[in-house]
Protein backbone atom coordinates (compact mmCIF):
# COMPACT_ATOMS: atom_id res chain seq x y z
CA UNK A 1 0.00 0.00 0.00
CA UNK A 2 1.41 3.36 -0.97
CA UNK A 3 1.44 5.91 1.81
CA UNK A 4 -0.87 8.44 0.20
CA UNK A 5 -2.97 10.95 2.07
CA UNK A 6 -6.54 9.72 1.83
CA UNK A 7 -9.41 11.92 2.86
CA UNK A 8 -13.12 11.74 2.06
CA UNK A 9 -14.82 9.44 4.56
CA UNK A 10 -18.11 11.24 3.87
CA UNK A 11 -19.53 11.40 7.35
CA UNK A 12 -19.58 14.13 9.95
CA UNK A 13 -22.87 15.93 9.48
CA UNK A 14 -24.77 13.50 11.72
CA UNK A 15 -22.14 13.87 14.46
CA UNK A 16 -22.20 17.64 14.10
CA UNK A 17 -26.00 17.74 14.52
CA UNK A 18 -25.92 15.27 17.40
CA UNK A 19 -23.24 17.30 19.18
CA UNK A 20 -25.52 20.34 19.06
CA UNK A 21 -28.67 18.41 19.98
CA UNK A 22 -26.97 16.75 22.97
CA UNK A 23 -25.68 20.14 24.13
CA UNK A 24 -29.24 21.49 24.13
CA UNK A 25 -30.53 18.41 26.00
CA UNK A 26 -27.79 18.80 28.63
CA UNK A 27 -28.54 22.52 29.01
CA UNK A 28 -32.28 21.84 29.50
CA UNK A 29 -31.55 19.02 31.97
CA UNK A 30 -29.23 21.29 33.97
CA UNK A 31 -32.05 23.84 34.38
CA UNK A 32 -34.57 21.12 35.42
CA UNK A 33 -32.06 19.51 37.78
CA UNK A 34 -31.21 22.82 39.48
CA UNK A 35 -34.93 23.67 39.79
CA UNK A 36 -35.72 20.26 41.36
CA UNK A 37 -32.76 20.42 43.74
CA UNK A 38 -33.74 24.00 44.62
CA UNK A 39 -37.34 22.96 45.34
CA UNK A 40 -36.50 19.82 47.35
CA UNK A 41 -33.30 21.13 49.04
CA UNK A 42 -32.17 17.60 49.86
CA UNK A 43 -30.12 17.28 53.03
CA UNK A 44 -29.96 13.51 53.39
CA UNK A 45 -29.16 10.50 51.24
CA UNK A 46 -32.83 9.49 51.32
CA UNK A 47 -33.89 12.90 50.01
CA UNK A 48 -31.34 12.70 47.18
CA UNK A 49 -32.57 9.21 46.40
CA UNK A 50 -36.15 10.43 46.41
CA UNK A 51 -35.35 12.91 43.62
CA UNK A 52 -34.33 10.08 41.29
CA UNK A 53 -37.04 7.65 42.41
CA UNK A 54 -39.67 8.87 39.92
CA UNK A 55 -39.81 7.47 36.41
CA UNK A 56 -39.65 10.90 34.74
CA UNK A 57 -36.48 11.92 36.60
CA UNK A 58 -34.90 8.56 35.82
CA UNK A 59 -35.76 9.02 32.15
CA UNK A 60 -34.37 12.54 31.77
CA UNK A 61 -31.29 11.76 33.86
CA UNK A 62 -30.61 8.75 31.65
CA UNK A 63 -31.15 10.95 28.60
CA UNK A 64 -28.69 13.46 30.09
CA UNK A 65 -26.01 10.81 30.58
CA UNK A 66 -26.48 9.36 27.10
CA UNK A 67 -26.21 12.91 25.71
CA UNK A 68 -23.10 13.56 27.80
CA UNK A 69 -21.38 10.39 26.62
CA UNK A 70 -22.28 10.91 22.95
CA UNK A 71 -21.18 14.55 23.19
CA UNK A 72 -17.93 13.46 24.86
CA UNK A 73 -17.38 10.80 22.17
CA UNK A 74 -17.49 13.42 19.40
CA UNK A 75 -15.33 15.89 21.32
CA UNK A 76 -12.69 13.38 22.36
CA UNK A 77 -12.65 11.83 18.88
CA UNK A 78 -11.97 15.33 17.51
CA UNK A 79 -9.01 15.67 19.88
CA UNK A 80 -7.55 12.37 18.66
CA UNK A 81 -8.13 13.46 15.05
CA UNK A 82 -6.22 16.69 15.67
CA UNK A 83 -3.32 15.46 17.75
CA UNK A 84 -2.84 11.68 17.36
CA UNK A 85 -1.08 11.47 14.02
CA UNK A 86 -0.28 7.74 13.49
CA UNK A 87 -3.45 6.13 12.10
CA UNK A 88 -3.04 2.95 14.18
CA UNK A 89 -2.65 4.91 17.41
CA UNK A 90 -5.72 6.99 16.55
CA UNK A 91 -7.80 3.87 15.96
CA UNK A 92 -6.71 2.35 19.29
CA UNK A 93 -7.48 5.61 21.14
CA UNK A 94 -10.92 5.86 19.50
CA UNK A 95 -11.79 2.28 20.38
CA UNK A 96 -10.61 2.82 23.96
CA UNK A 97 -12.67 6.03 24.22
CA UNK A 98 -15.79 4.33 22.86
CA UNK A 99 -15.30 1.36 25.19
CA UNK A 100 -14.92 3.58 28.26
CA UNK A 101 -17.99 5.66 27.34
CA UNK A 102 -20.19 2.60 26.68
CA UNK A 103 -19.03 1.23 30.04
CA UNK A 104 -19.91 4.51 31.72
CA UNK A 105 -23.38 4.43 30.12
CA UNK A 106 -23.99 0.95 31.52
CA UNK A 107 -22.75 2.05 34.91
CA UNK A 108 -25.07 5.09 34.81
CA UNK A 109 -28.06 2.81 34.08
CA UNK A 110 -27.11 0.53 36.95
CA UNK A 111 -26.83 3.44 39.41
CA UNK A 112 -30.05 5.09 38.26
CA UNK A 113 -32.27 2.01 38.37
CA UNK A 114 -30.80 0.83 41.67
CA UNK A 115 -32.27 3.94 43.31
CA UNK B 1 7.01 66.08 8.14
CA UNK B 2 8.14 64.20 11.21
CA UNK B 3 10.46 61.25 11.45
CA UNK B 4 10.99 58.82 14.28
CA UNK B 5 13.09 55.75 14.86
CA UNK B 6 11.16 52.50 15.04
CA UNK B 7 12.45 49.17 16.29
CA UNK B 8 11.63 46.01 14.35
CA UNK B 9 12.23 42.39 15.33
CA UNK B 10 12.19 40.35 12.15
CA UNK B 11 12.25 36.59 11.69
CA UNK B 12 15.25 35.74 9.55
CA UNK B 13 16.08 32.41 8.03
CA UNK B 14 18.16 31.61 4.99
CA UNK B 15 18.38 27.81 4.72
CA UNK B 16 21.56 28.12 2.63
CA UNK B 17 23.39 29.99 5.39
CA UNK B 18 21.59 29.62 8.73
CA UNK B 19 21.37 26.50 10.84
CA UNK B 20 18.25 27.79 12.56
CA UNK B 21 15.91 30.77 12.28
CA UNK B 22 16.64 33.80 14.47
CA UNK B 23 15.05 37.16 15.29
CA UNK B 24 16.94 40.19 14.02
CA UNK B 25 16.61 43.63 15.65
CA UNK B 26 16.60 46.46 13.12
CA UNK B 27 16.00 50.18 13.78
CA UNK B 28 14.86 52.43 10.99
CA UNK B 29 13.87 56.07 10.51
CA UNK B 30 10.18 56.20 9.67
CA UNK B 31 8.61 59.23 8.02
CA UNK B 32 5.03 59.82 9.17
CA UNK B 33 4.01 61.21 5.75
CA UNK B 34 5.69 58.90 3.25
CA UNK B 35 5.86 55.70 5.34
CA UNK B 36 2.22 55.24 6.19
CA UNK B 37 1.88 51.51 5.66
CA UNK B 38 4.06 48.72 7.00
CA UNK B 39 5.00 47.77 3.44
CA UNK B 40 6.54 51.24 2.96
CA UNK B 41 8.78 50.55 5.95
CA UNK B 42 9.62 47.05 4.66
CA UNK B 43 10.74 48.62 1.37
CA UNK B 44 13.01 50.94 3.39
CA UNK B 45 14.29 48.01 5.46
CA UNK B 46 15.13 46.10 2.30
CA UNK B 47 17.03 49.12 0.97
CA UNK B 48 19.04 49.05 4.19
CA UNK B 49 19.60 45.28 4.18
CA UNK B 50 18.91 43.73 0.81
CA UNK B 51 19.14 40.16 2.14
CA UNK B 52 15.73 40.65 3.82
CA UNK B 53 13.19 38.67 1.79
CA UNK B 54 9.42 39.07 1.58
CA UNK B 55 6.76 38.85 -1.11
CA UNK B 56 4.94 41.90 -2.39
CA UNK B 57 3.27 43.00 -5.56
CA UNK B 58 0.32 45.38 -5.87
CA UNK B 59 0.86 47.25 -2.55
CA UNK B 60 -2.87 47.91 -2.24
CA UNK B 61 -4.43 44.81 -0.72
CA UNK B 62 -5.51 43.14 -3.94
CA UNK B 63 -2.81 40.58 -4.68
CA UNK B 64 -2.43 39.14 -1.19
CA UNK B 65 1.33 38.62 -1.55
CA UNK B 66 2.56 40.41 1.57
CA UNK B 67 0.61 38.46 4.16
CA UNK B 68 2.68 37.99 7.31
CA UNK B 69 2.37 37.72 11.06
CA UNK B 70 2.51 41.28 12.40
CA UNK B 71 2.84 41.64 16.18
CA UNK B 72 1.28 38.20 16.59
CA UNK B 73 -1.64 38.70 14.20
CA UNK B 74 -1.78 37.78 10.53
CA UNK B 75 -2.33 40.66 8.14
CA UNK B 76 -1.23 42.34 4.95
CA UNK B 77 1.77 44.65 5.31
CA UNK B 78 0.35 46.99 2.66
CA UNK B 79 -2.90 47.53 4.58
CA UNK B 80 -1.35 47.84 8.05
CA UNK B 81 -0.99 51.40 9.34
CA UNK B 82 2.47 52.05 10.78
CA UNK B 83 1.09 54.52 13.36
CA UNK B 84 -1.09 51.79 14.91
CA UNK B 85 1.81 49.38 15.49
CA UNK B 86 3.18 48.75 18.96
CA UNK B 87 6.98 48.72 19.23
CA UNK B 88 9.04 46.66 18.83
CA UNK B 89 7.19 45.55 15.72
CA UNK B 90 7.58 41.78 15.55
CA UNK B 91 7.35 40.37 12.02
CA UNK B 92 7.17 36.65 11.40
CA UNK B 93 6.19 34.53 8.41
CA UNK B 94 2.62 33.17 8.32
CA UNK B 95 2.38 30.41 10.93
CA UNK B 96 1.91 26.76 10.04
CA UNK B 97 3.43 26.79 6.55
CA UNK B 98 7.03 25.80 5.71
CA UNK B 99 9.37 28.79 5.54
CA UNK B 100 11.29 29.20 2.29
CA UNK B 101 13.27 32.21 3.46
CA UNK B 102 12.70 35.04 5.96
CA UNK B 103 9.04 36.13 5.61
CA UNK B 104 8.37 33.96 2.55
CA UNK B 105 6.39 30.76 3.09
CA UNK B 106 5.66 27.81 0.84
CA UNK B 107 1.94 28.08 0.04
CA UNK B 108 1.70 24.80 -1.90
CA UNK B 109 -0.47 23.11 0.74
CA UNK B 110 -2.76 26.13 0.97
CA UNK B 111 -3.37 26.20 -2.80
CA UNK B 112 -3.74 22.42 -2.94
CA UNK B 113 -6.70 22.76 -0.58
CA UNK B 114 -8.08 25.68 -2.59
CA UNK B 115 -7.89 23.67 -5.82
CA UNK B 116 -9.53 20.67 -4.13
CA UNK B 117 -12.87 22.51 -3.88
CA UNK B 118 -12.95 23.02 -7.68
CA UNK B 119 -12.96 26.82 -7.58
CA UNK B 120 -14.71 27.35 -10.88
CA UNK B 121 -18.28 27.32 -12.19
CA UNK B 122 -19.47 23.84 -13.16
CA UNK B 123 -22.36 23.98 -15.60
CA UNK B 124 -22.68 21.53 -18.47
CA UNK B 125 -25.67 23.13 -20.16
CA UNK B 126 -24.86 24.95 -23.42
CA UNK B 127 -23.99 28.57 -22.61
CA UNK B 128 -26.59 31.12 -23.74
CA UNK B 129 -25.73 33.53 -26.50
CA UNK B 130 -24.69 36.31 -24.13
CA UNK B 131 -24.09 35.32 -20.50
CA UNK B 132 -25.59 33.22 -17.72
CA UNK B 133 -27.78 35.66 -15.84
CA UNK B 134 -28.55 35.86 -12.12
CA UNK B 135 -31.25 37.81 -10.36
CA UNK B 136 -29.96 40.71 -8.22
CA UNK B 137 -30.96 38.74 -5.10
CA UNK B 138 -29.02 35.66 -6.19
CA UNK B 139 -26.03 37.83 -7.05
CA UNK B 140 -26.25 39.48 -3.62
CA UNK B 141 -25.44 36.15 -1.96
CA UNK B 142 -21.98 36.18 -3.56
CA UNK B 143 -21.04 39.43 -1.84
CA UNK B 144 -18.58 38.79 0.97
CA UNK B 145 -17.39 35.65 -0.83
CA UNK B 146 -15.94 36.61 -4.20
CA UNK B 147 -13.69 39.28 -2.66
CA UNK B 148 -11.29 36.69 -1.18
CA UNK B 149 -7.74 37.38 -2.42
CA UNK B 150 -6.24 34.06 -1.18
CA UNK B 151 -3.63 35.75 1.00
CA UNK B 152 -3.82 32.81 3.46
CA UNK B 153 -4.08 35.05 6.54
CA UNK B 154 -7.17 33.14 7.67
CA UNK B 155 -6.10 29.55 7.03
CA UNK B 156 -2.71 30.07 8.68
CA UNK B 157 -4.35 31.52 11.79
CA UNK B 158 -6.60 28.46 12.16
CA UNK B 159 -5.41 25.77 14.60
CA UNK B 160 -7.42 23.13 12.74
CA UNK B 161 -5.43 24.01 9.61
CA UNK B 162 -2.16 23.89 11.57
CA UNK B 163 -2.89 20.35 12.81
CA UNK B 164 -4.34 18.97 9.55
CA UNK B 165 -3.23 21.16 6.61
CA UNK B 166 -3.25 18.10 4.35
CA UNK B 167 -6.85 17.11 5.20
CA UNK B 168 -8.78 20.18 6.39
CA UNK B 169 -9.73 22.52 3.55
CA UNK B 170 -9.26 25.58 5.76
CA UNK B 171 -11.30 28.79 6.00
CA UNK B 172 -10.12 30.28 2.69
CA UNK B 173 -10.92 27.11 0.75
CA UNK B 174 -14.28 26.71 2.48
CA UNK B 175 -15.25 30.35 1.89
CA UNK B 176 -14.52 29.80 -1.79
CA UNK B 177 -16.36 26.48 -1.74
CA UNK B 178 -19.46 28.28 -0.50
CA UNK B 179 -18.93 30.97 -3.17
CA UNK B 180 -19.64 28.25 -5.78
CA UNK B 181 -22.25 26.37 -3.74
CA UNK B 182 -24.16 29.65 -3.43
CA UNK B 183 -23.83 30.49 -7.12
CA UNK B 184 -27.18 29.83 -8.84
CA UNK B 185 -25.34 29.33 -12.17
CA UNK B 186 -23.41 26.36 -10.76
CA UNK B 187 -24.94 22.89 -11.19
CA UNK B 188 -22.58 20.82 -9.06
CA UNK B 189 -24.09 21.83 -5.71
CA UNK B 190 -24.78 18.25 -4.61
CA UNK B 191 -21.36 16.99 -5.63
CA UNK B 192 -19.74 19.93 -3.82
CA UNK B 193 -21.68 19.20 -0.63
CA UNK B 194 -20.86 15.48 -0.93
CA UNK B 195 -17.19 16.30 -1.26
CA UNK B 196 -17.21 18.49 1.85
CA UNK B 197 -19.28 16.21 4.05
CA UNK B 198 -16.28 14.79 5.78
CA UNK B 199 -14.91 14.84 9.32
CA UNK B 200 -11.64 16.31 8.09
CA UNK B 201 -12.45 18.42 5.04
CA UNK B 202 -15.21 20.50 6.65
CA UNK B 203 -15.94 19.36 10.19
CA UNK B 204 -12.48 20.20 11.60
CA UNK B 205 -13.91 23.73 11.82
CA UNK B 206 -15.07 24.40 15.38
CA UNK B 207 -16.10 28.02 14.70
CA UNK B 208 -13.41 29.68 16.83
CA UNK B 209 -13.44 32.56 14.32
CA UNK B 210 -9.69 33.28 14.17
CA UNK B 211 -10.26 33.56 10.42
CA UNK B 212 -12.83 36.33 10.85
CA UNK B 213 -10.52 38.14 13.26
CA UNK B 214 -7.62 38.36 10.79
CA UNK B 215 -9.22 38.65 7.33
CA UNK B 216 -7.73 41.83 5.83
CA UNK B 217 -10.71 42.09 3.48
CA UNK B 218 -13.22 41.93 6.34
CA UNK B 219 -14.77 38.67 5.10
CA UNK B 220 -16.43 36.07 7.30
CA UNK B 221 -15.35 32.49 6.51
CA UNK B 222 -17.07 31.17 9.68
CA UNK B 223 -20.41 32.46 8.40
CA UNK B 224 -19.80 30.82 5.00
CA UNK B 225 -18.88 27.53 6.70
CA UNK B 226 -22.05 27.82 8.80
CA UNK B 227 -24.09 28.22 5.60
CA UNK B 228 -22.48 25.10 4.09
CA UNK B 229 -23.43 23.15 7.23
CA UNK B 230 -26.93 24.62 7.10
CA UNK B 231 -27.33 23.48 3.48
CA UNK B 232 -26.15 20.00 4.44
CA UNK B 233 -28.71 19.89 7.24
CA UNK B 234 -31.48 21.11 4.92
CA UNK B 235 -30.48 18.43 2.42
CA UNK B 236 -30.47 15.69 5.05
CA UNK B 237 -33.63 16.34 7.07
ipTM of the complex as predicted:
0.88
Chain B: give the shortest CA distance to residue A20, in Å: 12
Rounded Cα distance between B212 and B144, Å, is 12
Rounded Cα distance between B65 and B59, Å, is 9
What are the CA-CA distances from residue B16 to residues B4, B20, B94, B100 (Å)?
Answer: 34, 10, 20, 10
What are the CA-CA distances from residue A88 to residues A85, B49, B69, B159, B228 (Å)?
Answer: 9, 49, 35, 23, 31
Alpha-carbon Rg for chain A in angstroms: 19
3-state secondary structure of B99: strand
Rounded Cα distance between A31 and A19, Å, is 19
Q: Touching check for B167 and chain A: CB below 8 Å?
A: yes
Q: Are B202 and A12 an interchain contact pair (Cβ–Cβ within 8 Å)? A: yes
Q: Inter-axis angle of helices B189-196 and B170-181, to 10 degrees?
A: 160
pLDDT for the residue B1:
65
Q: Touching check for B195 and chain A: CB below 8 Å?
A: yes
Q: Are B199 and A5 an interchain contact pair (Cβ–Cβ within 8 Å)? A: no
Q: Which of B123, B141, B98, B233 is nearest to B185 (CA)?
A: B123
Chain B: give the shortest CA distance to residue A24, in Å: 17
Q: How many CA atoms lie within 13 A of B89 on its CB side?
A: 26
Are B176 and B119 contacting, i.e. CB atoms less than 8 angstroms apart?
yes
Q: Touching check for B166 and chain A: CB below 8 Å?
A: yes
Can you name the residues that pair with A77 across neighbouring β-strands? Answer: none
pLDDT for the residue B104:
98
Q: Touching check for B81 and chain A: CB below 8 Å?
A: no
CB atoms within 10 A of CB B199: 21
Q: Strand pairing of B73-76 and B89-92? A: unpaired
pLDDT for the residue A6:
86
Identify the residue with better confidence: A115 or B155.
B155
Residue B62 burial (10 A CB sphere; 0-12, 13-18, 19+): middle
Q: Touching check for B136 and chain A: CB below 8 Å?
A: no
Cis peptide leading into residue B88 (ω within 30°)? yes
Can you name the residues that pair with A76 across neighbouring β-strands? Answer: none
Identify the residue with better confidence: B109 or A3.
B109
CB atoms within 10 A of CB B63: 17
Any idea what DSSP says for residue A10? -
State yes or no: pLDDT of A2 exceeds 80: no
**Which residues on chain B are in Cβ contact (under 8 Å) with A11?**
197-199
Q: Are B204 and A10 an interchain contact pair (Cβ–Cβ within 8 Å)? A: no
State yes or no: pLDDT of A66 exceeds 90: yes
pLDDT digits (tens, 9 = 90+) for A4-55: 888 888 899 999 999 999 999 999 999 999 999 999 999 999 999 999 999 9
Q: Are A7 and B198 an interchain contact pair (Cβ–Cβ within 8 Å)? A: yes
Rounded Cα distance between A37 and B121, Å, is 58
Rounded Cα distance between B228 and B196, Å, is 9
Rounded Cα distance between B192 and B209, Å, is 23
Q: How many residues are recorded in chain B?
A: 237
Any idea what DSSP says for residue A84? -
For chain B, residues with pLDDT lower than 70 are 1
Q: Touching check for B194 and chain A: CB below 8 Å?
A: yes
Rounded Cα distance between A80 and B207, Å, is 18
Are A55 and A44 contacting, i.e. CB atoms less than 8 angstroms apart?
no
All domains of chain A, ordered by start, with CATH? 13-114 (1.20.1300.10)
Q: Are B232 and A13 an interchain contact pair (Cβ–Cβ within 8 Å)? A: yes
pTM over 0.90: yes
Alpha-carbon Rg for chain B in angstroms: 20
Amino acid sequence: MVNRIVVGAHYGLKDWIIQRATAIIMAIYTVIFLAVVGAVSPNSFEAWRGIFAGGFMKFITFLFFVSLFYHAWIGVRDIWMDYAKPDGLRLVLMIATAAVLVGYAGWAVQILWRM
Amino acid sequence: MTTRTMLFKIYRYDPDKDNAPYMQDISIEVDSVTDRKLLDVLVKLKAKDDTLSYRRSCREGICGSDAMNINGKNGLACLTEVKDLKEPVVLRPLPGLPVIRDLIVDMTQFFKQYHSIKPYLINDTPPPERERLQSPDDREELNGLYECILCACCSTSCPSFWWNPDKFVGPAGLLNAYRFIADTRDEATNARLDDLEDPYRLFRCHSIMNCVDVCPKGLNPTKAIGKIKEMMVRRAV
